[in-house]
Amino acid sequence: KFLNTKNRSFSPPLPPAKTRSHWMKVRSKGWWERIVLLEFTDQEWKQNFRMSRASFMKLCSL
């Protein structure tokens, strides 16, 4: 809940930030060029990258 005292709003403190980690599966460049770029269907592309191939390529070119 918010506490409003004479036009001042106070919200409860946020919980501490979680430490996040990331990982990556090591793959050869051939996998990307042969499987992903050439063989993935549009449906497989969206399932794996959660965006269209065109959107992904546009994002990579920025």
Q: How many domains does the chain have?
A: 1
0.75 surpassed by pTM: no
21 within some domain:
no
pLDDT in tens, 4-51: 556 666 677 888 888 888 888 887 788 888 888 888 899 998 998 899
25 within some domain:
no
SS3 6: coil
Helices and strands in the chain: count of H runs, count of E runs: 4, 2
Spatial neighbors of 56 by CB under 8 A, at least 6 apart, are 45, 49
Query: CA-to-CA distance for 32 and 40, rounded, in angstroms?
Result: 10
Range of the domain at 56: 34-62
11 within some domain:
no
Query: CA-to-CA distance for 62 and 55, rounded, in angstroms?
Result: 11
DSSP 8-state code for residue 36: I
52 within some domain:
yes
13 within some domain:
no
15 within some domain:
no
